[in-house]
A and B are shown apart, each in its own frame.
Chain A
Amino acid sequence: MAKTPLQFRHNGRDVAIFVDGGMSLLSALRDEVGDHSPKFGCGQGGCGACTVLVDGEPVVSCVTLAETIAGKSIETADGLKTGPELHPLQTAFMDNFAAQCGYCTPGMLMAAKALLEHNPDPSRVEVVEAISGNICRCTGYESIINAVLAAAARRTERRA
């Protein structure tokens, strides 16, 4: 099958890969770029485990065609921390026990990051809304919601 060259920014670095016509962004990231942080959960856009940010907007990468992201900026959970320095969301998830099996965590983190970038001081309801596309079968969500709110509070504190 003919392969198409594809260039985009991946966690702040330029990458160039070849993709098939029907390849999903999830496959492109996992199999071609080698970034295993977005997870395969359903392949139907239903569980959010594959959530990444495209130009700052959360998308479910399993039902996004790789070719549609040419020239765009992709952020994944793999690029959250700066060197050894954890992102405030990562610290908050640790402090609030917001992961058990950890499989939904990369997608959850990206959905939460998109929320906090648009809305640095969200209400509990807004957090619930923001992660409503992400399924977690272990935690029951409460600890995740608490973690996102804690991360938001810490950022607001720093700014003040």
Chain B
Amino acid sequence: MLELRKDIFADERDDNLKEIGKPTQRQDMLGHVTATSTYFNDHKLQGMLHLKVLRSPHSHARIRRIDLSEAERQPGVRRIIRGADVPHNLNTLLSLINFGKDDEPTLAVDKVRYKGEPIVAVVADSQREAYEALAKIRVDYEPLPSVFDVEEAMKPGAPVVNETYPKNTFTYHDIYDHQKLRFGDVERGFAAADHILEQRYQMSPIEQAHTETNGSIAAPDTNGRYVVYTSTQALFFSLDTCAKILDVPSNTLHFIGGTVGGGFGGKVDTVTEPLSILGAMLTGRPVRYVIEREEEMIYCAPRGAERIFIKDGVARDGRILARQFRCYFDSGAYTRLSSYAVVKCAAHLPGPYTISNVSADVYCVFTNRVPATAMRGFGVTAVDFAIECQMDKLAHLIGMDPMEFRLINAYRDGDMKAHRREAKNTALIECVQVAAEKAKWPLRDELKRMSSRKDGGGARAAVPATPREPILVSRPAGQQRTPYDRPASPPPEPLRPPPLPPLSPPPAAAPSHGAIRFSSVFGGRRR
């Protein structure tokens, strides 16, 4: 009887997995400090060729003609790849989970939709020869009108960026042009509020700026497969994406990665692998495609810019009675992961606060800017920035301590969230208490005794009546309204000074009530 001698290996594995609280060395640390960790580019293969792409100088243009005749005769050129050479030259990243329509070519064919979009790839003996050949390619463009602003892109008659989505908005569930959240009745909340604050927040795109740029090396393997060394953050996701684009069974591809020189979301888009593998397929040689830093900064996908409008109705005692959002997520020319960012954004609203009337419309908008993609908490972080700025402004507006204001409105265990899920394991109250303590910020004893585990649920767990159509309610005469800092584009009539609602002078002893105007830019108050 043959038997596995488990006793020989008995001391190799400790099944006690209680590791929390014990310092543990990273398993890759020795490799890092001895510079032996192998990144994708630390492979030198026999006969390796180099791939570079020609990028569009236009933000939006029709491609009339591509002349490769001179480039093909350049020394060292092994192969020039065009869109027609890509087996399945249209893809969207999340098609693997059946989310969104294929909208982005690997190499542009009829049209370029952002400045820097790849059109032709050259495979040559050296990087220099590849660049020299790129300089000899002649492309005849017909420039088209571009749109760079999310709200402009949604207006009737705006240039159509991406024909897959003719309204310049991503389509959810085949019919909806945005993500909609309705909870309670914001109009009733606004009518009951003592102050209304409307603000506009505009984020910029942010480059992930990983120290290692995107890249990959693909090489024919001995068994008809291809081995791919890659910088990707998402190894299997990239493998499946390549199998789809190249129209090969996924077991044709052997991806090797995992040692990534920083990613932060900038290495999930599978931008280099399809072309380096295709180059290896067409030449039979190892092909290396590394993105240069300049390309990475200018043409590779950043965190998308968001424009967020928030309108809050707040009571004098500090309760937020209604919160209304309108957000535009700038996806750039293609979807990549922005459709998902919008879903995350909508699911996150209205932030970690229990508000009984919430309304949100979040749009994924196409413009002729560089496509946006993942970056650390994308879809959520920008909204949190806007919400927390808004919270400070609201606290100032009603003359309340900003920490206290957050504690009063913080969600607690058992509360109903706007997307109709019960709040569990909440800890905002405790976070604020610790932050106040660390910052030596005085809190009243009553606030120090608050807990996320107390006083939640009950009436706070109810789902309020939510009308399908907004019912406009007349506003009380004494209500304060503070408009957006800047008008939405384009500016209508000159807005300075903004119209002030007719007000009676406030009693001096009640600063939180009455004719206080709020300077939304600097968060200061003036009378």
Contact = CB atoms under 8 A, between A and B. Distances in A.
Interface of A: 22, 30-31, 34, 36-37, 39-44, 46-47, 49, 76-78, 80-81, 86, 90-91, 93-94, 97, 99-106, 109, 135-138
A6 B442 CA distance: 68
A51 to B, nearest CB: 11
Contacts of B292: 43
A47 to B, nearest CB: 6
A101 B261 contact: yes
B26 to A, nearest CB: 7
27 contacts: A34-B44, A36-B38, A39-B211, A39-B212, A40-B41, A40-B290, A42-B293, A44-B293, A47-B211, A49-B211, A49-B212, A77-B35, A94-B25, A94-B29, A101-B261, A102-B31, A102-B32, A102-B37, A102-B259, A103-B39, A103-B210, A103-B262, A104-B211, A105-B35, A135-B211, A137-B209, A137-B210
Contacts of B25: 94
Interface string B243-266: 000000000000000011111100
B262 A138 contact: yes
**B32, B37, B38: residue with the most chain A Cβ atoms closer than 10 Å:** B32
Contact of B33 (A22, A31, A100, A105): A105
**Interface majority SS (helix, strand, loop, mixed), chain A:** loop
Interface string B399-437: 000000000000000000000000000000000000000
A109 B41 CA distance: 20
A77 to B, nearest CB: 4
Contacts, number: 96
A112 to B, nearest CB: 11
B30 A102 contact: no
B43 to A, nearest CB: 9
Interface residues of B, number: 32
Given A31-B44, A77-B34, 7 more contacts: A36-B38, A39-B41, A39-B212, A94-B25, A97-B26, A102-B31, A105-B32
B262 A137 contact: yes
A103 B26 contact: no
A102 B293 contact: no
Given A80-B34, A90-B34, A43 B211 contact: no
A41 B210 CA distance: 9
B42 interface: yes
B28 interface: yes
A103 B464 CA distance: 52
A10 B331 CA distance: 48
Contact of A103 (B34, B212, B293): B212
Contacts of B32: 93, 99, 102, 105
Contacts of B28: 102
A93 to B, nearest CB: 5
Contacts of A109: 33, 35
Interface in B1-50: 25-26, 28-39, 41-42, 44
A40 to B, nearest CB: 7
Nearest to B128: A22
A11 B26 CA distance: 27
A76 to B, nearest CB: 8
A138 B39 CA distance: 16
A35 B293 CA distance: 22
Contacts of B35: 36-37, 76-78, 80, 105-106, 109
A47 B261 CA distance: 13
B266 to A, nearest CB: 10
A60 to B, nearest CB: 13
Contacts of B290: 40
Contacts of B293: 41-44, 46-47
A46 B209 CA distance: 12
A140 B44 CA distance: 32
Given A49-B211, A103-B39, A86 B33 contact: yes
Contact of A41 (B34, B44, B211, B260): B211
A50 to B, nearest CB: 11
Contacts of A42: 293
Contacts of B261: 39, 101-103
Contact of B30 (A36, A41, A94, A106): A94
B378 to A, nearest CB: 17
Given A102-B261, A137-B211, A36 B42 contact: yes
